[in-house]
Structure 1
Amino acid sequence: MHIVIMGCGRVGSSLARSLEKRGHSVAVIDQEAESFRRLGPEFRGITVRGVGFDRTVLEKADIRNADGFAAVSSGDNSNVLAARVVHEEFGIDNVVARIYDQGRAEVYERLGIPTVATVRWAADQVLRSMMPEGSEPAWRDPSGQARLIRVNTHAAWVGMKISAIQDQIHTPLPFLQRFGTGIVPSPSTLLQDGDVVYAAVEVERVPEVERLLAAPPARR
């Protein structure tokens, strides 16, 4: 995957290094050339000086071949503007913006831009939002304690009843997307190949639920 990051501060540089260690190609955009020093001498990705909502700058970062975009600069307005430009003009759906103001974050999410507020910020939250092996938050409660996540599942879960899956992961699965249509499964609904699974989970259990669903079900 190719990921473009706007902002090379502590979070942006950490995210860039983590992505590169996972084998992904990375381009980092920042207005200050000095900021790229945070990437370290081993970084092999692209660095572009400029702002992430400038189309020419985005082109230099190879945005047309990007699989995801993270706006993690220090400015809410810049992050959201860049995310909207990338999403609306370059057709990239996998975007996330760092937002300091939680109230505004909720407004932006209604515009279709996933956000992560600084009060609960960690670089791995962006990774979880963007990477295939992670999950994507579809809804968060205002307190930040629980969320509905879109989570990837191992192929071995296919054919199992929703009730059996829930019993193993100790987490409700209130929603599935099947062939582009949302359904509320019953306990007897069988998971089908290609289903997109949503889990309702406490924030602290997100890594555990991801791990359980990414592996084959336990034998009983």
Structure 2
Amino acid sequence: MHVVIMGCGRVGSTLARGLTERGHSVAVIDQNPEAFRRLDRDFEGQMITGVGFDRTVLTEAGISRADAFAAVSSGDNSNIIAARVARETFGVTNVVARIYDSGRAAVYERLGIPTVATVRWAAGRLMRLLDPGPDSEVWRDSTSAVAMIELNLHQDWTGQPLERLEKATGVRTAYLIRFGLGVLPTPSTVIQDGDQVFALVTDDLATPVRRTAAEAPEGAQ
């Protein structure tokens, strides 16, 4: 596939190298020609100096045949403008933008433009490494809105249908680890002794979900 990248900073140059190593054609746009020094000398993609949301520059980068567009410059406004031009003007369906302001990221996600909220994601990741806590999450999505946590189950959940736990907590189970192996749950899955259960939650649900899982099921003997 052909990918156009706006921004040749550390993220953009790393992305460009990774995509070319996978055999994709890549065009990188940056206003500063010195930025292209971050690319390998044998980089086979296009290096175009210009503004990433300028239609002439995008056309030179092959946006009309692009399968994907990534806006990863250092400016939120530039990234969003470029992402919208790529999608709305040139019809690129796979468009992603890096956004530092998590509030803006949420808005553009609702507009259908996937974003990576860099600051919030990085801060959250650092916090989990520095102070994981007893119920540390094991994964968080790039927008920092959804997390995966391991549930500390009350012993009385053993033998109960997993569906009952999901109904009680109001969230979905992502997977189980049983006898050391990952298992995808099915409608007939029953919780066994020693199961590790991982659920997908938003921040507002994490605490009540953990609390419910740690309590005996309602009506359990």
The two structures have a TM-score, normalised by structure 1, of 0.59
**What residue in structure 1 maps to residue 81 of structure 2?**
81
The one-letter amino acid of 1:67's match is D
Which structure: larger Rg?
A: 2
Question: How big is each residue's C-alpha offset from its partner over 1:56-83, in whole Å with a ceiling of 9 and x where there is no partner?
Answer: 0000000111110000000000000000
Question: How big is each residue's C-alpha offset from its partner over 1:162-196, in whole Å with a ceiling of 9 and x where there is no partner?
Answer: xxx96795456xxxxxxxxxxxxx838xxxxxxxx
Question: How big is each residue's C-alpha offset from its partner over 1:115-145, in whole Å with a ceiling of 9 and x where there is no partner?
Answer: 00113669xxxxxxxxxxxxxx999553x53
**What residue in structure 1 maps to residue 91 of structure 2?**
91
The two structures have a TM-score, normalised by structure 2, of 0.59
Q: Would the alpha carbon gap of residues 121 and 51 (structure 1) be closer, same or farther in structure 2, given more than 3 Å must change? A: farther
**What residue in structure 2 maps to residue 145 of structure 1?**
147
- Tell me, yes or no, if the aligned pair for 2:105 and 2:143 is still in contact at 8 Å: no
State the superposition RMSD in angstroms.
3.0
The one-letter amino acid of 2:92's match is I
Alignment of 1:67-78 (within 5 A): 67-78=67-78
Alignment of 1:7-26 (within 5 A): 7-26=7-26
SS in 2 for 1:27: strand
**What residue in structure 2 maps to residue 39 of structure 1?**
39
Does 2:114 match 1:114? yes
Identical counterparts, % of pairs: 65
SS in 2 for 1:145: strand
Which structure 1 segments of 5+ residues have no match?
123-136, 148-164, 173-185, 189-198, 203-220
Which structure 2 segments of 5+ residues have no match?
123-139, 150-173, 189-198, 203-221
Aligned structure 1 segments of 4 or more residues deviating by more than 4 angstroms: 137-141, 165-169, 199-202
